[in-house]
Amino acid sequence: MSQGDAFPTHVFDVLNVAPAPFPEPIGPGVRVVEKRPADGPITLMTIGASRLPIDSGDRVELAVEVMDGQQGAGLIALGIVVDDMVKNRRVPPIGAPWRNGTPFLNGTQISAILVAPSRRGTVFDEVRAADGSPVGHVRMLHMLTDAEASHAASRGWDSLVAAAGSRDALLDVTRTDAAAPAGPAGNSPVFLSKLHAEHPPRWVTYTGRDLQSVTGLESDAYMNDSANHEVWSVDSFVARFPFVAEFVRVARPGQTALFTDASGRYVIEPD
């Protein structure tokens, strides 16, 4: 088996069940097959995504698990990612949810896609040549609500699965949120000015990696002096200013909350 045969051979053999092809392609040279293993959910897999030109040189096929009758949702998710691979010449990152803001499946709350390791481990996720050398991967897509994506972005895929109760709880695309949203983890950094020793936060921004807070009293000259800044943990920040806790819990990357008092009420500033 040559390296060129490794991907179609892997897709054909994995899960120990023959694939059933869908009639229409979802991208240039990219087909989709359905596999119905006896010990798990229906799995859709691409054949041909690994041949798309990717700037990094990475080679991947895609997969998504679906409930019977919801194969159309899986095809849409695969098509979205293949389209991104074609347009941007990149493979989807692991553990970083793509969040659309609005549902991409009509009549559902599904608005995000996350790549995370499959339930079957490396025997499914890794593609190897006949001599055992690695040649690429299968990336498992998970279709999520925005609240679930928020949780995964902050706490990770394993935390989301634990909060949902199981991987299977994240399969039905007609579900309501299987987990509550979660902002930054408690040990994430908060970058703030020393004026917080005397004044409460007014604007708090979640960047997706950290929080940034200002009181509104800082001048440009003050902010430009690094000696006027401190780094706290999220836990310490919330303990000192408990009224920000609700925003921190549900914040989406890029959002800035405006607080006008200590009631906990806030408004999201426009981008």
Contact predicate 95/116, CB 8 Å = yes
Predicted pLDDT at 1: 43
**Which phi and psi (to 5°) does residue 28 adopt?**
-65, 105
Contact predicate 237/210, CB 8 Å = no
CA distances from 162 to 76, 148, 151, 168 (A): 26, 12, 11, 11
Q: What average pLDDT does the segment 58-70 reach?
A: 98
Q: What average pLDDT does the segment 142-164 reach?
A: 91
Report the distance separating Cα 15 and Cα 31, nearest Å.
Answer: 18
| Strand order across the 256-258 sheet | 229-233, 189-193, 211-214, 203-206, 256-258, 267-268
Predicted pLDDT at 4: 66
Predicted pLDDT at 3: 57
Residue 222 tokens read as 């003050």
**Which phi and psi (to 5°) does residue 128 adopt?**
-130, 150
Contact predicate 170/142, CB 8 Å = yes
CA distances from 248 to 27, 39, 143 (A): 39, 40, 24
Helix (H, G, I), strand (E, B) or coil at 142: strand
Residue 239 tokens read as 């303990």
Res. 183 pLDDT band, cuts 50 70 90: confident
Q: What is the mean pLDDT of the chain?
A: 94
Note the pTM of the prediction, 2 decimals: 0.76
Q: How far does Cα 57 stand from its chain's mean position? A: 22
